[in-house]
């Protein structure tokens, strides 16, 4: 679905609008994309975390919502479902080959930052991003929700191999966690409270990913980046008096500032003789946060393999990956002291959760892709006593 959103840009339409200003202008784009998740029975399309998640943190918090997830309980779903504006922005390109750009509007960071060509095939967001700090004040560096934060993004290509990126966005694009801004068009620019989130990234690339016309080797790149949030957040353990907030019911302790860092690499390991795209490619990424009482995840390791051109079909891709987020000590303490754990004799909280995902992307027509997928979730809700989850589904992707 990440690829779908990335591919469903309005470039031809956007450029035609910009030509109303100047027929010679070729360096811009207007982009609008949306999602329309809807279940006919008003029930959840996916329910990961709903039954294992009575206290608000669960499988979806650590691994991310599906891109079409309406989530939450049935009584809230009528409000949660329906059209959502995903992104809307304008863009100006400049420089050599028009590769540099400035982008302004509501922008999903993880379509351009920490980008992996392979990871966009996976259904869980954990494969696509290391977490965004400004999700909600209560969860901090949880997975991204299905609306994008407003801000400014800049990319600059330096020479044949280096790419530098930076982005500044609203600290929280929905402090309520998706309830008040479920349609995606509201903006929150209270800098004194919500602050801003800064993202930065450097990429070094080689092989046919580089701009060197003489480098025809197998493509590869490495990326390093980080995030800094200037706004407030709520402790995942303590109340204002220093007690456990989920036991006392008092207001949660407030902190200011949050950071996390990430790194990733992607490389084509094998290329079929005489082919450009057919072959085996792998990616590996990780994230790290120094905080144990802020947010939910302190570390994460994600990786996968994809073979393009299987079964004699040039554009079909067989892929498999493993996502393993580690929760911080505050979440472990909170989970151990919740009544859903203390009242169960066999409750066993562990510090991580894993998902194995296997899928096959089949190109039916030049514009239609059918992708069946299988998920195996290990230790859902970071609990060993709940049993693993196995689920299957499919995606239909349309690209114009």
Mean pLDDT of 357-361: 95
Domain that holds residue 140: 2-398
* pLDDT for residue 132: 66
Q: Which of residues 5 and 89 earns the better pLDDT score? A: 89
Say which CATH number the domain at 16 has: 2.40.160
**Most confident of the ranges 122-126, 265-269, 323-327:** 265-269
pLDDT tier for residue 302 given thresholds of 50, 70 and 90: very high
- Tally of domains in the chain: 1
Q: Is the pLDDT confidence value at 338 over 90?
A: no
How much of the chain exceeds pLDDT 70, in percent?
77
* pLDDT for residue 43: 56
* pLDDT for residue 47: 41
Task: Give the predicted TM-score (pTM) of the model.
Answer: 0.82
**HEC states along the chain?**
CHHHHHHCCCHHHHHHHHCCCCCCCCCEEEEEEEECCCCCCCCCCCCCCCCCCCCCCCHHHHHCCCCCCCCCCCCCHHHHCCCEEEEEEEEEEECHHHCEEEEEEECCHHHCCCCCCCHHHCCCHHHCCCCCCCCCCCCCCCCCCCCCCEEEEEEEEECCCEEEEEEEEECCCCCCCCCCCCCCCCCCCCCCCCCEEEEEEEEEEEHHHCCCCCCCCCCEEEEEEEEEEEEEEEEEEEECCCCEHHHHCCCEEEEEEEEEEEEEEEEEEEECCCCCCCEEEEEEEEEECCCCCCCCEEEEEEEEEEEECHHHCCCCEEEEEEEEEEECHHHHHHHHHCHHHHCCCCCCECCECEEEEEEEEEEEECCEEEEEEEEEEECHHHECCCCCEEEEEEEEEECC
* pLDDT for residue 183: 76
Q: Is the pLDDT confidence value at 163 over 90?
A: yes
pLDDT tens profile 192-228? 888 999 999 999 999 999 999 999 899 999 999 999 9
**Most confident of the ranges 59-68, 141-150, 179-188, 272-281:** 272-281
pLDDT tier for residue 399 given thresholds of 50, 70 and 90: confident
């Amino acid at each position: 679905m990440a690829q779908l959103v990335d591919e469903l840009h309005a470039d031809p339409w956007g450029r035609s609008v910009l030509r109303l200003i100047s027929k010679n202008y070729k360096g811009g784009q207007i982009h609008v994309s949306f999602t329309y998740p809807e279940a006919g029975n008003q029930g959840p399309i996916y329910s990961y975390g709903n039954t294992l998640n009575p206290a608000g943190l669960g499988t979806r918090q650590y691994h991310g919502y599906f891109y079409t997830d309406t989530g939450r309980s049935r009584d809230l779903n009528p409000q949660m479902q329906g059209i959502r504006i995903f992104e809307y922005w304008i863009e100006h390109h400049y420089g050599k080959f028009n590769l540099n750009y400035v982008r302004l509007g509501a922008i999903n960071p993880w379509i351009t930052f920490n980008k992996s060509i392979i990871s966009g095939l996976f259904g869980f967001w954990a494969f696509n991003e290391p977490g965004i700090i400004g999700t909600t004040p209560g969860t901090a560096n949880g997975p991204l929700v299905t609306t994008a934060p407003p801000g400014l993004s800049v990319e600059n290509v330096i020479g044949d191999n280096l790419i530098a990126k930076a982005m500044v966005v609203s600290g929280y694009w929905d402090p309520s966690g998706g309830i008040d801004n479920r349609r995606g068009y509201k903006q929150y620019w209270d800098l004194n409270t919500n602050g801003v989130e800064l993202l930065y990234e450097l990429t070094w690339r080689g092989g046919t990913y580089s701009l060197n016309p003489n480098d025809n080797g197998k493509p590869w790149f490495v990326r390093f980046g980080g995030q800094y949030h200037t706004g407030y957040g709520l402790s995942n353990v303590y109340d204002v008096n220093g007690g456990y907030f989920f036991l006392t019911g008092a207001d949660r302790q407030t902190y200011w500032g949050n950071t996390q860092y990430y790194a990733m690499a992607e490389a084509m390991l094998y290329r079929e003789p005489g082919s450009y795209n057919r072959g085996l490619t792998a990616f590996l990424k990780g994230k790290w946060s120094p905080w144990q009482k802020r947010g939910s995840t302190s570390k994460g390791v994600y990786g996968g393999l994809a073979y393009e051109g299987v079964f004699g079909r040039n554009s079909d891709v067989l892929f498999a990956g493993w996502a393993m987020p580690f929760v911080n000590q505050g979440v472990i303490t909170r989970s151990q002291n919740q009544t859903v754990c203390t009242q169960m004799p066999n409750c066993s909280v562990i510090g991580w959760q894993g998902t194995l995902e296997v899928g096959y992307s089949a190109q039916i027509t030049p514009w239609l892709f059918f992708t069946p997928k299988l998920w195996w979730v290990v230790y859902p809700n970071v609990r060993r006593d709940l049993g693993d989850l196995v689920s299957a589904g499919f995606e239909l992707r349309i690209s114009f």
